Homo-oligomer: A and B are copies of this chain.
Amino acid sequence: MLATTSSAVQDYLKGLYSIGEGAGRTEPVSTTQISSHLRVSAASATNMLKKLDGMGLVDHVPYRGVELTDPGRKIALEVLRHHRLLETYLAEALGVPWDQVHAEAEVLEHHLSEELEDRIAARLGHPTADPHGHPIPTKDLASPPPPARTLWDTSDGDTAVVDRVPDADPEALRYLGELGIVPGTNARVTRRGPIGGPLFVRFDPSEVEQAISKELAEAIWVS
C-alpha cells in the first residue's frame, strides 16, 4: 500500500492530515493551504490534488477544497507513524538532539520498510508519543485523538500540562529545551501583554516567569 506511492504523494497526504483533521479541523483544506505547507506553487498543488483524487486517496472538489478518503487517511497515518517512530528512535537509540530528529525523520519516513518499522517499534517498547509529545499512530492506523487547546487559548491564572510542542522548528525547540519545556511540564499562565503581546508563563520546576510569543503559544498544545 505505502510502497506503491511516491514520496510526493505521501507528503501531500501527510500534509493534508496534519493541517486538517490532525489539527482538529473539520472543514476541507484549501489548495493554498496545502501548497504553502509543502512550499510548492498553487498550480503544482492543484495538479497533484487532481491526481490524488483520481487515485481515490482524496476527494477534491474544484474551488472547494480537498478532504482525505479512508484509504488516503490510512497512508497519511502510516507515514506519520513512520515519522514519529523514527524521531523517537533517533533520539533514544542514537542520541540525536530533539531539534534535529524531525529533519532526519522527514527523509527516512518514506523509506522505512514494514519490517524495520516493526523492529523499531518493538525495540522502543511500542511508544505512544514522540519526543515532542505527538501521538504515534498505532499499527492498525486508527486516528489518534485530536489535540485539545493551545497555550494561547488559556485564561490568565490557568494551570495546564504541556502535551505537544511543535516539531519542525529547530530554533524554537532549542529555546524550549533551554527553558525545560517538554511534554509533561506543568505551566501556570500569569498574564499576557497587550494585543498579541507575549504570554507570561511559569513552568515547573523553575519559578521564573517566561515570555512566550503568540506564535509559539499557539503552537504549544496543552490539557
Consensus secondary structure, chain A interface: helix
**Contacting residues, chain B, for A93 (C-beta < 8 A):** 93, 123
A115 interface residue, CB < 8 Å from B?
yes
Q: Is the CB of A96 within 8 A of B116?
A: yes
**Contacting residues, chain B, for A126 (C-beta < 8 A):** none
**Contacting residues, chain B, for A123 (C-beta < 8 A):** 93-94
A172 interface residue, CB < 8 Å from B?
no
Closest chain B residue to A94, Cβ basis = B119
A95 interface residue, CB < 8 Å from B?
yes
Q: Is the CB of B111 within 8 A of A94?
A: no
A100 vs B107: C-alpha distance when bound (angstroms): 22
Closest chain B residue to A103, Cβ basis = B113
Q: Per-position contact with B for A114-155: 1 when CB-CB < 8 Å, else 0?
A: 011001100100000000000000000000000000000000
Interface residues of A (CB under 8 A from B): 90, 93-96, 100, 104, 107-108, 111, 113, 115-116, 119-120, 123
What 8 pairs between A and B have smallest CB-CB spacing?
A: A94-B119, A107-B111, A111-B111, A108-B111, A104-B113, A104-B116, A94-B123, A95-B119
